Structure 1
Amino acid sequence: MLARIYNQAQEHLVEVQTDGAAKAVQIAPKPSGFGSSVNGGELLLLALATCFCNDLYREASKRKLSLTSVEVVVSGEFGAEGEAGTNFTYQTRVVSDAPAADIEDLIRYTDRVAEVHNTLRRGASITLLP
């Protein structure tokens, strides 16, 4: 997996890739034309929301549960420059004709196996390469 950004005046190109399958993500540049109009904190929260949403569908399929819709709302706080984010929380709303107990079990299980969540919970090593 990889993510790539290329930025110059009024041009902001974003690409993500898994197993060689590249996808463009449309994100506008800042009004100044340099940098991204979406900040990294917002994208981190979006990564958590996306992971949980996708994993709910994945785990529901394994259990042969049909989900009508999923909503995931993630929040967090970022302070001064250089400070790590804090107070990450999320909520989900799942609409399904499955029994409520089955959906609650699905949500709790998915919380335990969501890969992006577990990466952050365990701490990630991030290395700047030359």
Structure 2
Amino acid sequence: MKISVLVQNQEGNHHVSLRTNDNIHTLAISPKPTGLGSSVNGGELLFLALSTCYCNDIYREAVKRGIRIISVEVEVTGEFGSDGEPATNVRYRAKIAAHASEEAIRSLGRETDRLSEIQNTLRVGTSVTLDEINAVSVGELHE
């Protein structure tokens, strides 16, 4: 599975395009009300990725076990320090309602935590490489 994301931003406009293999869709995220950038920050999106991955994986793993899920809630918390510092104390909790015993649901939750790809990506510290910066000069700003 190949995944890519494209963010295009300029004052008053923020567009997010997501792609998994040949499936392309957009995610509505508004621009900052004033200035440049997104109205959400990268930490929020990182934690959204953790919670979304776990939620989706609960449904995937439940099917394998023949468990019918009614609802899933996932809350991720953590802390960021100064500019450039990585997140610390990242934790999450889940509430899973299903047609199964409490022990079967807890077992499903533990196994899903072991298999969740985004959690495992962060746990192993995957490298991230900046391949290129395409600089487009529109002239120098003189004040």
Q: Within 5 A, what are the aligned runs for 1:47-62? A: 47-62=49-64
5+ residue gaps, structure 2: 133-143
- Correspondence for 2:127 among 111, 117, 125: 125
How far, CA to CA, are the matches of 1:117 and 1:97 in structure 2? Answer: 26
Q: Which moved more, 1:30-39 or 1:74-83?
A: 30-39
Q: CA RMSD in A?
A: 0.7
Cα shift readout 1:13-67 (whole Å, capped 9, x = no counterpart)? 0011101211100000001241100000000000000000000000001111001
What SS does the aligned partner of 2:9 have? strand
State the identity %.
49
Which residue matches 1:36? 38
| Aligned-pair CA distance for 1:97 | 2.0
Q: Which has the larger radius of gyration?
A: 2
Counterpart amino acid of residue 54 in structure 2: F
| TM-score when normalising by structure 2 | 0.89
TM-score (norm 1): 0.98
Q: Which runs of 4+ in 1 moved over 3 A?
A: none
Paired residues, number: 130
The amino acid that maps onto 2:74 is V
Residues 44-93 of structure 1 deviation map (CA, whole Å, 9 limit, x = unaligned): 00000000000000000111100100000000100110111100000000
Unpaired segments of 5 or more residues in structure 1? Answer: none
Partner Cα separation in structure 1 for residue 87 and residue 74 of structure 2: 19
